[in-house]
Amino acid sequence: MGVTIKDIARKANVSLATVSRVINNKSEGVGPETRERILNIMKDLGYYPNRIARGLVTKKTNILGLVLPDISNPFFPSLARGVEDTANKYGYNIILCNTDNKTEKEETYISVLKENYVDGVIYTSVIRNKDKSIEMLLQSKIPFVMMDRSVNVTDIPEVFTDGVSGMQQIVEYLISNDHRRIAYISGPDNNSPSEQRLEGYMKALDHAGIPIDHTIMKDGDYKISSGYQCMTELLDKGEGFTAVACANDLMAVGALEAMKERGIRVPEDISITGYDDIYLAGVLTPKLTTIAQPKYEMGCLAAELLIKLVQGEEIKDRQIILQPSLVKRESVVKRSDMLENCSHR
């Protein structure tokens, strides 16, 4: 097939070893002139190393696995881009795997990744503590870092953003705008960010001395449709809330839709907030006030951490927690600025 190290060795009248040395430019192991000659021949013949063969002996493939729920979910592309960019920067490539949050697919992919002898994997999984796929990863000794979701197991490297702080910030912002009855549409209960955000919501209310009212809290699943659904229920049965905090932007979109259909104006009648700051948050009407996560950066940091792990570097912090930030736009208004006598019921 392609030209191999052998071809160029023959043509240069040297041994395979010598060629190999110049390929991996071992500092001083070859005479400057032979090196030159070999380099030229390599260029002439259009030689490029066979990473497969190399991998077989070095046990390194320079490939990283990136397993996440769904690349077509607007939240993940930035993360993926971040890991790809930094992986590339360090000479690694990434294999993309979509799991749809299905444990089964996760396990299958982890297996495949192992078979491919990837050097490491970046993992965004539904798993809670020690799940099977984590166990597989652990015992296979392949380095990995959890991204975006925490598994709450010490010693497992992870990078994610502080969800309780994020949600707390935005709910406190709502409170500082004089809202007291703040409804909540949560995410699914199978992942840590969702849990953290709920905790942040409760913490904010607690700090402000506002009692938790479960009648204005709904369980969503991060999808637009569930935002719509939850908002509808809230509108039908919720008692006099003036604002609603959503666990992600997508659900806010659905909620917005539900309100629009009923002629409820945002933020004049009800204020709403999202979470994630995906790209559509800024183009909605009204533009959505939300919490921005440093997505791209998270991807970069996860990759960086993983690569250090792979290369056996000594690292102090195996847990990187990023801080989210509030981005104020148009969907929240002070309670005193709300339309006076509006009843949305």
Partner DNA sequence: TTGTAGGCGTTATCAT
Partner DNA sequence: ATGATAACGCCTACAA
Place of tokens 């990473």: 51
Distance between CA atoms of residues 29 and 44, nearest Å: 23
What contacts 106, CB < 8 A, 6 or more positions away? Answer: 67, 99, 125, 126, 127, 133
CA angle 219, 224, 225 (to 5 degrees): 70
Residue 21's binding partner among DNA, a copy of itself, none (Cβ under 5 to 8 angstroms by kind) is: DNA
Q: Which two tokens stand for residue 304?
A: 């960086």
Closest distance to a copy of itself from the beta carbon of 199 (Å): 29
Q: Which of 10, 20, 74, 153 touches DNA by CB under 7 A?
A: 20
CB atoms inside a 10 Å sphere around CB 228: 20
Query: What SS3 state is found at 24?
Result: coil
Query: What SS3 state is found at 179?
Result: coil
Q: Does 70 bind a copy of itself (CB under 8 A)?
A: yes
Distance between CA atoms of residues 159 and 318, nearest Å: 8
Closest distance to a copy of itself from the beta carbon of 186 (Å): 21
Q: Does 261 bind a copy of itself (CB under 8 A)?
A: no
Residue 66's binding partner among a copy of itself, DNA, none (Cβ under 5 to 8 angstroms by kind) is: a copy of itself
Q: Which is nearer to a copy of itself, 73 or 190 (CB)?
A: 73
Distance between CA atoms of residues 3 and 1, nearest Å: 7
Closest distance to DNA from the beta carbon of 37 (Å): 9
Q: Does 55 bind a copy of itself (CB under 8 A)?
A: yes
Residue 342's binding partner among a copy of itself, DNA, none (Cβ under 5 to 8 angstroms by kind) is: none
Distance between CA atoms of residues 309 and 299, nearest Å: 15
Q: Does 97 bind a copy of itself (CB under 8 A)?
A: yes
Residue 96's binding partner among a copy of itself, DNA, none (Cβ under 5 to 8 angstroms by kind) is: a copy of itself
Distance between CA atoms of residues 268 and 87, nearest Å: 46
- What is the per-residue binding string for DNA in 48-87, x denoting contact by CB under 7 A? -xx--xx-xxx-----------------------------
Q: Which is nearer to a copy of itself, 95 or 208 (CB)?
A: 95
CB atoms inside a 10 Å sphere around CB 236: 9
Q: Which of 6, 104, 279, 328 touches a copy of itself by CB under 8 A?
A: 279
Q: Does 96 bind a copy of itself (CB under 8 A)?
A: yes
What contacts 303, CB < 8 A, 6 or more positions away? Answer: 64, 82, 83, 84, 85, 86, 87, 90, 92, 122
What contacts 3, CB < 8 A, 6 or more positions away? Answer: 45, 46, 47
Q: Among 6-14, 86-94, 102-110, 301-309, which window interacts with DNA (CB under 7 A)?
A: 6-14
Q: Which is nearer to DNA, 58 or 152 (CB)?
A: 58
- Interface positions with DNA (CB under 7 A): 1-2, 4-6, 13-18, 20-21, 23-24, 28-31, 33-35, 47, 49-50, 53-54, 56-58
For a copy of itself, the binding residues (CB under 8 A) are 1-2, 48-53, 55-56, 59, 61, 63, 66, 70-74, 76-78, 80-81, 84-85, 88, 93-98, 111-112, 114-117, 140, 253, 256-257, 279-280, 283-285, 296
